[in-house]
Chain A
Amino acid sequence: MSTTTSTTVKRIGAEGSVVSYCVGFVLSLALTITAYAMVTGKVLEGWPLIYSLTGLALVQMLVQLLFFLHLRHEDEPRWKLLVFDLMLLIVAILVFGSIWIMNNLNYHGHSLPKEGTDQYIIQDEGFEQ
């Protein structure tokens, strides 16, 4: 009886403190401003910039999940983490799948110029005449 009460108190106490919220806040601020400065300062461009910004956003998501949403303090079994992982999978399939399919449709659809389409396909798909 006394043991269950003490574990309850410990668990609730572990869910965030002023320090953990401050750490999360400062890290998020730093990540946001870094991302902003990378765009306005034109440090990178093209794919490196896209990768860096996406990476910074993902890191900030992780920071907030850990320090604001306390995902790391969950008791076993970690159902919240399990549902979260499943959702990440669904989101990835949904977003990347849509972009992939729509680009593919664009490519095979009518958006190619009338002239030179054969040339385009020969070059891109590696067909020989």
Chain B
Amino acid sequence: MSTNTTTLEHPDHQAKLLDKTSFGFWVYLMTDLVLFATLFATFAVMRTNVASGAPLSEHYNLPFVLVETLLLLTSSFTCGLALLAVRAKQSQLAIAGFGITFALGACFLGMELYEFRQLVIEGNSWRASGALSSFFTLVGTHGAHITIGLLWIGVMMWRLATKPIDANTVRRLTILSLFWHFLDIVWIFIFTMVYLLGAAS
């Protein structure tokens, strides 16, 4: 029993576990990428099918979306810094870092929901045309991921506040930061392919 405990707490064992868990999570992220790819392909095919409505580009507010993008990018950065604080076993700094990440992510989500609300109020909901359906599905799926990420950050902040940082916490926060950085990368493509190219064409 005592030998078992020492093996489990051995730094080498923990490092292997961290490697395995983060690889498993990486494989999940890559399959999630395929999900987003199907939605991107659907959008690329459907984007001009606006029925009798205006082209999608007329609904975009580029400065608004740029602010969204910068918020999410900054949150990805602070998430990385918070993870460094976790590795250095600095609970207070880590809570502050994830707190800022959470706040920026929540602002991003709020702006996205505001944009959706405006579209629906103006009669351009997902029911109006194929183009809008594919737009809402693509951007909304990303938003749903962000919502899950925010819940996850909240739960982990509670854990950071109530427990000292152990190997388990480090492992969970490592995959959480993988998730958050991944969502930022997906957003770069939404920003470029949906908004920038949409507005330019």
Question: A: which residues have CB within 8 A of B?
Answer: 4-5, 8-9, 11-12, 16-18, 21-22, 24-25, 28-29, 32, 35-36, 39-40, 45, 49-50, 53-54, 56-57, 60-61, 64-65, 68-69, 75, 79-80, 83-84, 86-87, 90-91, 94-95, 97-99, 102
Contact = CB atoms under 8 A, between A and B. Distances in A.
B15 A68 contact: no
B80 A91 contact: no
A63 B160 CA distance: 29
Contact of A83 (B27, B41, B76, B200): B27
Contact of B26 (A61, A83, A95): A83
29 contacts: A8-B12, A8-B15, A9-B11, A12-B87, A21-B80, A25-B77, A32-B73, A35-B191, A36-B66, A39-B62, A39-B196, A49-B197, A49-B200, A50-B197, A53-B192, A57-B191, A57-B192, A60-B188, A64-B181, A64-B188, A68-B80, A83-B26, A86-B30, A87-B34, A90-B37, A91-B37, A95-B37, A99-B45, A102-B45
Interface in B51-77: 62, 66, 69-70, 73-74, 76-77
Contacts of B33: 87, 91
Given A11-B15, A49-B200, A95-B41, A69 B178 contact: yes
B41 A80 contact: no
A45 B199 CA distance: 11
B192 A16 contact: no
Given A8-B12, A21-B77, A54-B193, 7 more contacts: A32-B69, A64-B76, A64-B185, A68-B80, A69-B178, A98-B45, A99-B41
Contacts of B188: 32, 57, 60-61, 64
B44 interface: yes
A87 B84 contact: no
Interface residues of B, number: 45
Nearest to A81: B26
B129 to A, nearest CB: 16
A43 B170 CA distance: 46
A17 B73 contact: no
A75 B12 CA distance: 14
Contacts of B184: 64, 68
B98 interface: no
A75 B62 CA distance: 41
B151 to A, nearest CB: 21
A80 B26 CA distance: 7
A46 B34 CA distance: 28
B116 interface: no
